[in-house]
Amino acid sequence: MNLSEIKSYQQSLKKIWSADQLPGMKDPNYRYSSLKKVDLNRENESLESEVELSSIYLKQDNEESWLGIHSDSQSPLILNKSESIWVGTWKQAFEQDLLTSQFKFEIPELLNDDPIVQKIVSDVENPLVILVKKNKEVNLPLRMVSEWGSESSLFMRRIFLVLEEGASLDFIEENVGEGKRAPLDLSLLQIYVGKSARLNGFSIQNFGLSVEGYHRTLICADADSFVSWTPISLGGEKVQSRLETHCLGKGAEVVIDGAARGYQKQHLDFWVTAHHTVPETRSSMNYATVMADQGRSVFNGNMIISREGVRTEAYQKNRNMLLSPHATIDTLPKLEIGTDEVQCAHGASIAPVDPSQLFYLQSRGIPKELAEAMVVDGFTESVVSRIPIESVKERINESLSEKSTLSSTMKNLFSRGDF
């Protein structure tokens, strides 16, 4: 697809949908996060029709390499080039003949019916491309920071992350910032992991409580590749995250370990699907969520195994902890299996803090407030502890500490023995 064909394609997308046709609560995928009141037609102040080289930057120090993207200006400047990583825009990749089928501009098939994806693809004319070259191992973690500016009301971005055959990368996507004027954040991250490549990835969402976000991630894993992807969701007023994984070749394995903490009136909605369409692939999906105050979380997990997906191993677990009787958790784990020759399991649990754990800690002289925080932090510690950059891990732990205390109502229920 050449550049003129892309413009025609984007114009055709703009005609497909309108705000009046956005899905509402009758659509099972948007039952808890209706788009009916979302203003997707607002002006995108962060998006320019022609992206020039100015404010995406690749930097390196002793602990990490990192990219920065700011909502008030979306154009890339590469400050430090690497022999292992190529970073640039889609048009630059096109001009340098780097494009393969993994950089296909059109909407991916698995996301074809998603109005958020349609909006992003139709409006973002020059996506960012991150390419790890064949058989290259990147020694330092690559951290990509997308930060809200003070003037933007809509922040859209589309990013390709491609690991060529045999490549290896530790990658952290971090979304931060407060935003103003009821900010709306839309993102599409398309990840392709080539044959025998390895990706250890983290997606950290820690927006201010005024931000509403709709995030889409597609991970495609080729033969004998390994992907570990860890989404951590902490901020935002209302955030829906859709994650689709697809094992494309024999021997591919995708491991998803997610964690979320919500409080006040936060609404966190996770829509996660693993696709197995070839023989002998593996996936696991493990989410741990803690909700306090009047927060609400939704886990909509599905593992889909086609008739061709024989000898698939797929496991799914969703663990939830309630810190307040006013918090709400909805968990909907599912399996769709089209063949008998598989090993699959799924399960979900919702429970308050175990009072026996609190009693054990207090009996050893630990103050009650600290014991509560230790139990809650321990629920998601196995996920957070895997972050490979200490400074990022420390920031996440600071954010978590604000959400670790039981509500006063829950404390009273514990003291009366009602739980």
Write the CB contacts of 158 (distance below 8 Å, at least 6 apart in sequence): 120, 121, 124, 127, 128, 187, 188, 189, 190
Taking 60 as the threshold, does the pLDDT of residue 51 lie above it?
no
Q: Is residue 352 within 8 Å of 369, Cβ to Cβ? A: no
- The arithmetic mean of pLDDT across residues 141-163, rounded, is 82
Q: pLDDT by residue (tens digit) across 60-108?
A: 555 555 555 544 444 444 444 567 888 888 888 888 888 777 778 888 8
Distance between CA 136 and CA 151 in Å, rounded? 39
How many residues can be counted in the chain? 419
Domain range list for the chain: 3-248
Q: Given this model, what pLDDT does residue 26 score? A: 81
Q: Is residue 127 within 8 Å of 47, Cβ to Cβ? A: no
Instruction: State the burial class of residue 88 (Cβ atoms within 10 Å of its Cβ: 0-12, 13-18, 19+).
Output: buried
Q: Is residue 321 within 8 Å of 353, Cβ to Cβ? A: yes
Distance between CA 169 and CA 191 in Å, rounded? 12
Taking 90 as the threshold, does the pLDDT of residue 169 lie above it?
yes
Q: pLDDT by residue (tens digit) across 368-403?
A: 888 888 888 888 888 888 888 888 888 888 877 766
Binned at pLDDT 50, 70 and 90, residue 27 comes out as confident
Q: Given this model, what pLDDT does residue 5 score? A: 83
Binned at pLDDT 50, 70 and 90, residue 152 comes out as low
Q: Given this model, what pLDDT does residue 69 score? A: 54
Percent of the chain with pLDDT over 90: 43
- At residue 291, the 3 state secondary structure works out as strand
Taking 80 as the threshold, does the pLDDT of residue 54 lie above it?
no
Q: How far is C-alpha 406 from the chain's CA centre? A: 27
What mean pLDDT, rounded, does the chain reach? 83
Q: Given this model, what pLDDT does residue 419 score? A: 43
- At residue 390, the 3 state secondary structure works out as helix
Lowest mean pLDDT among 66-75, 285-294, 313-322: 66-75
Percent of the chain with pLDDT over 70: 83
- The arithmetic mean of pLDDT across residues 194-212, rounded, is 93
Binned at pLDDT 50, 70 and 90, residue 20 comes out as low
Handedness of CA 113, 116, 122, 127 (dihedral sign): negative
Q: What is the CA radius of gyration of the chain?
A: 21
In order, the DSSP letters of 320-342 are: EEESSTT-EEEEEEEEEE--SSE
Between helices 368-384 and 390-401, what is the axis angle to 10°?
Answer: 140
394-397 long-range contacts, CB within 8 A, separation 24+? 395/206, 396/204, 396/206, 396/232, 396/234
Binned at pLDDT 50, 70 and 90, residue 192 comes out as very high
Distance between CA 59 and CA 320 in Å, rounded? 38
